[in-house]
Copies of this chain bind each other. A is one copy, B any other.
């Protein structure tokens, strides 16, 4: 994200008829930067929501983009030709196109992507702290732990600028999340089993919601 911010204005300076796009995980800090650039209409702000916990060219896997969401931001600011080039590219990879503003993008990704990484990092740090005192605690790690902690392998170089550039939304979702965890903790501590049950049953709804989305069906 930092590299995009430093390079994009210079790349646009050299554009004649070409289309420029990016695949960065936050959008507002980029689109604000080039909003008055004379070649702004050659640029399409986009974000293919796809990837694993690994980074760099060697992390490529077949079908990485298949059926994944490709977000195009602020489409009115791009020329029809530039938009067509980028949407054709995404559709050729069988992606689902979604259009929204940069502002909406940054809010939504804070909730469905950025926070997932933060909860994984915090889980890893919690267990590693205990591991120092309790030998071999990780020998017991079972399937459930593996999947919730998977994203904790994600690259600091990639994520630090994302959290920083989307600071306001990320802090908001973290505050809500910490409230939910504290609520759980207080109820468990007080032995309020009926209320803990209510919270879990409410949380269960997420899976029904995800399954309703035809794009999530395997």
* Residues of chain A whose beta carbon lies under 8 Å from any beta carbon of chain B: 49-53, 68-69, 71, 98, 107-109, 111-113, 115-131, 134, 137-154, 156, 159-161, 163-164, 167, 170-171, 173-178, 180-182, 184-185, 188-189, 191, 193, 196-197, 199-207, 209-210, 213, 215-216
A137 touches B156 (CB 8 A): no
Q: What are 28 sample pairs from A and B whose C-beta atoms fall under 8 A apart?
A: A49-B142, A53-B207, A68-B143, A69-B139, A111-B127, A111-B137, A112-B138, A112-B140, A113-B140, A116-B144, A116-B148, A117-B144, A118-B184, A119-B122, A124-B202, A126-B180, A127-B206, A128-B206, A130-B173, A138-B210, A138-B213, A148-B148, A152-B207, A161-B193, A174-B184, A174-B188, A178-B178, A181-B181
Shortest Cβ distance from A37 into chain B, in angstroms?
26
Please state the number of chain copies in the assembly.
2
| Contact across chains for B128 and A205 when beta carbons are under 8 A apart | yes
Known contacts A150-B147, A156-B197: A206-B124 contact under CB 8 Å: yes
**How far is A61 from B144 in the complex, measured between Cα atoms in Å?**
15
Contact residues in B for A154 (Cβ distance below 8 Å): 200, 204
Q: Are B108 and A181 in contact (CB under 8 A)?
A: no
Q: Select from chain B the residue with minimum beta-carbon distance to A195.
A: B160
Contacting A138 at CB < 8 Å: which of B130, B140, B196, B209? B209
Choose among B120, B176, B184, B213 the residue that contacts A141 (Cβ–Cβ < 8 A).
B213
